[in-house]
Amino acid sequence: MSNSIDVLVDSTPETTKPRLQRRAVATRATILAGAARVFDASGYSAASINDVIVSGGLTKGGLFHHFPSKQSIAQQLVDRWSLAVALSFSDAAATGEPATRGTSGGISRPRPQGRD
């Protein structure tokens, strides 16, 4: 089952990248997917870098090679989500389909109280 997080994390084209870059893209995707799960489960403030490392089966060096901080990981997730929302609205304007298609309806869904 695919959700909007999967789409956002896996949206980087890899077809023209050399092998090492493909591995780097896969590692970044693993980091982002793990972080998204951890942030969703614990909230951003309560989540730790170690939680993200464990979630993705990573090393601390591997994570920090790609992202300098927890904030930079969160920013990448927000940027990708924002792009997905913009594309969804653009598609909706062009096709008449609901704008929440492809974003798991998460565009207007409020977060539970007490979560970041």
**pLDDT, tens only, 19-57:** 668 889 999 999 999 999 999 999 999 999 999 999 999
The residue among 27 and 11 whose pLDDT is bigger is: 27
Listed residue (52, 49, 13, 50) closest to 31, CA to CA: 52
Residue ranges covered by each domain of the chain: 4-95
What's the confidence (pLDDT) of residue 37?
95
Q: What is the pLDDT of residues 79-103, one digit of tens each?
A: 999 998 888 888 888 888 777 655 5
CATH of domain 4-95: 1.10.10.60
Listed residue (78, 107, 79, 75) closest to 91, CA to CA: 107
Question: Is 111 a residue whose pLDDT tops 50?
Answer: no
pTM of the entire predicted model: 0.67
